[in-house]
Amino acid sequence: MSERDVDAELVSRVQAGDKQAFDLLVIKYQRKIMRLLSRMIRDPAEIEDVAQEAFIKAYRALPQFRGESAFYTWLYRIAINTARNWLAANKRAPSTPSAFENEEGETFNESDVLTDGSNPESEMASRQIAETVNKAINYLPEELRNAIVMREIDGMSYEDIAESMNCPIGTVRSRIFRAREAIATRLRPLLGDTGDRRW
């Protein structure tokens, strides 16, 4: 049974009146939604509030959910719209941190770049790379940032991303390419790369 099938089963149970099935969906996706919202809102308490509001909206809208898209794709859209509404209501711009913060470490797994024979120098280099990647992602325009996060961090397919962002797959590919190029540009000085390498 695929993830989408599992979600569809849980959604059917919610639509039939099983509130505990929705709790399972919240548990499954709460961390992902909080991570998504942390790219738009800085204050952890406010992120929690907006996430809760997004889940409440999703619960209320579930009777109309027809399963034409994956549940997470649908929930993602609700969360993004809820965050945008919250930012507009509070007259705030989406966050663009000026420095790397520990809470952002989740977006880049340092262990991915550490070798078994890691030493203090390589660990420091790995931390610098992680910081640079996170800064680069955070400084991307919202549409590029969302596309690269959905693809590289959430592991969504191009089709699901296109559906979430309400645009053609070609546009998604272009946004992801541009995001990767922007990240690579910031990484090249750290890696001693002249720019010949394709990312």
Position 95 scores a pLDDT of 52
Question: Do 14 and 78 share a domain, yes or no?
Answer: yes
Cα torsion through 19, 153, 181, 132, rounded to 10: 120
Residues 119-163: tens digit of each pLDDT: 566 566 667 777 777 788 888 898 998 898 888 877 788 888 898
Secondary structure of 96-125 as H, E, C letters = CCCCCCHHHHHHCCHHHCCCCCCCHHHHHH
CATH number at residue 183: 1.10.10.10
Q: Which residue has the tokens 């509070």?
A: 90
Longest pairwise C-alpha distance within the chain: 59
Angle, alpha carbons 160-5-158 (nearest 5°): 15
Determine the residue type at 143.
Answer: E
Kindly state whether residue 95 falls inside one of the protein's structural domains. no
Position 87 scores a pLDDT of 87
Percentage of residues in the chain with pLDDT exceeding 70? 78
Kindly state whether residue 197 falls inside one of the protein's structural domains. no
Residues 176-190: tens digit of each pLDDT: 989 888 888 887 777
Domain residues for 110? 102-191
Helix (H, G, I), strand (E, B) or coil at 152: helix
Position 96 scores a pLDDT of 45
CATH number at residue 31: 1.10.1740.10
When divided into structural domains, the chain yields a total of: 2
Q: What residue spans of the chain are helical by DSSP H?
A: 3-15, 19-37, 44-61, 71-89, 120-139, 142-148, 158-165, 169-191
Question: Do 124 and 154 share a domain, yes or no?
Answer: yes
Average pLDDT, the chain: 78
Question: Do 108 and 182 share a domain, yes or no?
Answer: yes
Residue 101 has pLDDT above 60, yes or no: no
